A and B are shown apart, each in its own frame.
Chain A
Amino acid sequence: MEHEEAKKTTFWANIGNFFKKIGSKISEKAAKKAGSSNKTQMLEWKKDGWKATVCLAPALIILAVFTFYPILNTFLVSFFPDYNYVTDEFGSFGFDSYALVLQDATFWRAMGNTALMVIVSVPLSILIALIITVLLNSIKKLQGFFQIIFFLPYVTNGIAFGLVFATIFSPMDYGLVNTLLNAVGISSVGWTGTTNIPYWAGLFVITVYAIWNGLAFKILVFLSGIQGIDKQYYQAAQVDATPRWRVFTKITVPLLSPMILYITITSMMGAFKSYSSVVSLFGESMGNGQNETFITAVGYIYKYFNRVVHDNISWVLSRASAAAVILFLFILAITGIQMWANKKKVHY
């Protein structure tokens, strides 16, 4: 899940460069045209144009139907509160869906939960991943062995291991964590399940699972980053007898800062979109039955979307779309801020 995000964000940095390149290319071509019209060049172009059509057609057709059209359509639907997907009737234009979402207490609780998950789990998991990476990098024996163990959570099924965590944090006395707590004289906590989960307990389980699940990718990225750092910096530090802590804060962290920023963005997006982990831990109702205690931003969208899919209620589709557009704007804003911070702070 997080990795999905990771894939997307890498290219953000490139997109800027890419547009710049296009700009210069267009002006180059204009200059060429203005100069001499090269006949062979023109012929080559036509030939390639035919080949390009063949090569690109499958990709572009699929993307047009399942990527471009849905983006535009979701925007549209969000402005037509009575949209009916069965008949494709749009009804009248209005902002009612946005008003409904923004006035809904559940929506703001979902945003609050999501924000809390982001604020707690992202810095914590990045810090742990950094520490593990630095230690991992300092050893020679067993490095590969530890690396494989830390990577294992990456190749697990998110829902399946959510169920495993639900068993470990079972609310009953026979759960692993409750057994350990009872052994030291603390009474059982209702960590998971569908009823009577204290807010802090549920959030704790979500955080532990998120960290467990996300460390693998972070360690992998940090480790390949740290191994790319020039050894001379460390040798210089050693000659000066620099304390380890200063080496960490003054050399490792600054030189890893592009990776750290990248991981921050991707894991924030991942945390922002938590859904399946919550569902596997607390069931489809996302905690405490009708209260939806641990509902997330994406969970809110899917709650209405699921009503369209499974209960055949067409009119909530517009509301789900409006919530999706709001989520999109939030993500855009966060990424924008981070890109700006990237320009200011990151040391290359």
Chain B
Amino acid sequence: MEKELYFASDEQAKKYERIRKVRLFFVYFFLTICALFTLIPFYWMLATSFKTAEEVQRIPATFIPLQPTFQNYINVFSGENAILLRYIGNTVLVGILTTIFEVIITILASFAFSRLEFKGRDVIFALLLTTMMVPGEMMIMTNFTTIARLGWLDTYQALVIPFVASVFYIFFLRQNFKQIPDELYYAAKVDGNSDFKYLWKVMLPIARPSIITITILAMIGSWNAYLWPRSVCVEADMKLVTDGLMYLFQNEVGGTSDHQIMAATTVVSLPLLIAFACFKKHIMRGVARSGIKG
């Protein structure tokens, strides 16, 4: 829009240009500082993870490791903290299972709510929406007792089953399905296609971005879950990463094994960051869409 401006004289235009450049400099300067603040924790995590036990306790702290070492990572993968790998495996497994079931269940339910006509459809849907106002803290206690009574404590199904149906995702996908014009449906019907074929051949391809979004959000969700896994899986073998991290290190926070802890947090953080690097556009668009759409 800046180019659309007209100036009375060249001098005025030059002056404007000068002010613009100075302003631009400060804008970049400020943004760079903010970006640095954003990156410091990442840098400090990496830097500390390459330090030796002596260097980590050096006063004053060193900003660049003097003698970078991989020993901390070797310890994460082979030492007493090697169980972290199992936690990562658990998390990946639970994340994938949850996501697969969640996507299938969500697609079916939102198809029913958006396309099918049946008695009580809107009432059921309204009932589902009202539960979204209730914070998860209201449910976690009873869910724990339910899982305990089912005898599912320390099992994978305790980590997966309660999360495979989400009102939010059903709503999200239903909104998406609703935008598909009715004419497509009638055309498919006239051609003698069944509802399920229509779902498979028409609705799913159109709603693909939303389904990718759901997949990504569900994966991030499992990766970050803390209290639920911690409550239903107490056994050392069954933990997920977040709880596992706390379990291994909670008594050492800010203590003398910072280099070990940072190597472990790096290992735990990398999968999400790598996934982000691969699916940048999808993830950012997905998060923005799920936030604003509705």
Interface on A for B, CB 8 Å cutoff? 1, 3-4, 6-8, 10-15, 18-19, 21-22, 25, 44-45, 48-49, 51-52, 54-56, 58-60, 62-63, 65-71, 73-74, 77, 85-86, 88, 128, 132, 135-136, 138-139, 142, 146-161, 163-176, 179, 182-183, 192-194, 212, 215, 217, 220-221, 224-225, 231, 234-235, 238, 259, 262, 266, 273, 275-276, 279-284, 298, 301-302, 305-306, 308-310, 317, 320-321, 324-325, 327-328, 331-332, 335
CB distance from B137 to the nearest CB of A (A): 5
Residues of B within 8 A of A324 (CB): 135, 137-138, 141
Contacts known (A71-B134, A176-B44); A279 close to B167, Cβ less than 8 A:
no
List the 4 shortest-distance A-B pairs measured between CB atoms, nearest first. A70-B142, A62-B165, A55-B112, A59-B109
Which one of B67-75, B180-188, B200-208, B286-294 is at the interface? B286-294
Contacts known (A52-B118, A193-B254, A238-B1); A18 close to B126, Cβ less than 8 A:
yes
Query: What is the total of A-B residue contacts with beta carbons within 8 Å?
Result: 333
Of A44, A49, A63, chain B has the most CB atoms within 10 Å of the CB of: A63
Render B255-294 as a binary contact track against A, CB cut-off 8 A, 1 for contact: 1001001100100110011011000100110011011111
Q: Are A151 and B284 in contact (CB under 8 A)?
A: yes
Contacts known (A139-B28, A152-B42); A158 close to B224, Cβ less than 8 A:
yes
Out of B135, B140, B253, B294, which one reaches A328, CB within 8 Å?
B135
Q: Are B245 and A159 in contact (CB under 8 A)?
A: yes
CA distance A169 to B165 in the complex (A): 39
B161 at interface by CB-CB < 8 Å: yes
Interface on B for A, CB 8 Å cutoff? 1, 4-5, 24, 27-28, 30-31, 34-35, 37-42, 44-45, 48, 56-61, 104-106, 108-109, 111-113, 116-119, 121-126, 128-146, 148-149, 161-162, 164-165, 167-168, 170-172, 195, 220-221, 223-224, 226-227, 231, 234, 241-243, 245-246, 249-251, 253-255, 258, 261-262, 265, 268-269, 272-273, 275-276, 280, 283-284, 287-288, 290-294
Chain B contact surface mostly: helix
Contacts known (A179-B59, A224-B292); A320 close to B141, Cβ less than 8 A:
yes
Residues of A within 8 A of B234 (CB): 309-310
CA distance A10 to B113 in the complex (A): 19
Q: Are B261 and A157 in contact (CB under 8 A)?
A: no
CA distance A193 to B128 in the complex (A): 42
Residues of B within 8 A of A173 (CB): 59-60
**What are 11 inter-chain pairs, A to B, with CB distance below 8 A?**
A63-B165, A66-B162, A71-B139, A86-B148, A146-B31, A157-B241, A161-B269, A163-B261, A174-B59, A179-B61, A309-B234
Residues of A within 8 A of B117 (CB): 44-45, 48
Residues of A within 8 A of B60 (CB): 173-174, 179, 182-183
Q: Are B134 and A174 in contact (CB under 8 A)?
A: no
CA distance A225 to B292 in the complex (A): 9
CB distance from A118 to the nearest CB of B (A): 15
Residues of B within 8 A of A69 (CB): 142, 146
Nearest residue, chain B, Cβ from A310: B234
CA distance A19 to B128 in the complex (A): 12
Nearest residue, chain B, Cβ from A228: B292
Q: Are A10 and B291 in contact (CB under 8 A)?
A: yes
Q: Are A220 and B291 in contact (CB under 8 A)?
A: yes
Q: Are B129 and A221 in contact (CB under 8 A)?
A: no
Q: Are B112 and A71 in contact (CB under 8 A)?
A: no
Residues of A within 8 A of B149 (CB): 88
CA distance A182 to B58 in the complex (A): 13
CA distance A13 to B133 in the complex (A): 12
CA distance A14 to B175 in the complex (A): 11
Out of B30, B145, B161, B283, which one reaches A155, CB within 8 Å?
B283
CA distance A9 to B91 in the complex (A): 28
